[in-house]
Structure 1
């Protein structure tokens, strides 16, 4: 309403923006996920779950991976599929609900 001073709310970065910032600061995470997919498929896996890969990364690093948010699983899955379309039958992605 004109003339009505409402409190200003800080605009928080979107999950996608947070993901890009994390990915830029931790490029090794993507490479590690790639290696894990290759290993799982070579071992005979037909399907690869991104959440399981995230947990594998966390277990391999004694102090975890600071900032590795479960909200990033779908974004990493999409990036992996963009660069490795041959993995489409092994990594499932759903339609995005948010931009």
Structure 2
């Protein structure tokens, strides 16, 4: 290829290169903006969930520290219920020949 042809075309090639670089930069900025927006939305959702969990923990703390609330007794009562349910898995059938309970 003759260099004499490229010399007059050099400014046009440079302008095309600059336009291409500017467009790529704009696309990258849009991509970054979209990522930042999505990240901020997720952060807001997480903050809301954390607030809800903190509220629930505060309620549980109030319940457990309430003087009239006997947690240990209630836990033992639940254990007793589970033991009874495990041992007695249903209604006993007293079926003898020809009889129904």
Tell me the TM-score normalized by structure 1: 0.25
* Larger of the two Rg values belongs to structure: 2
Greater relative contact order, per chain length (Cα 8 Å cut-off, separation 6+): 1
TM-score, normalisation: structure 2: 0.25
Decide which structure has greater helix share: 2
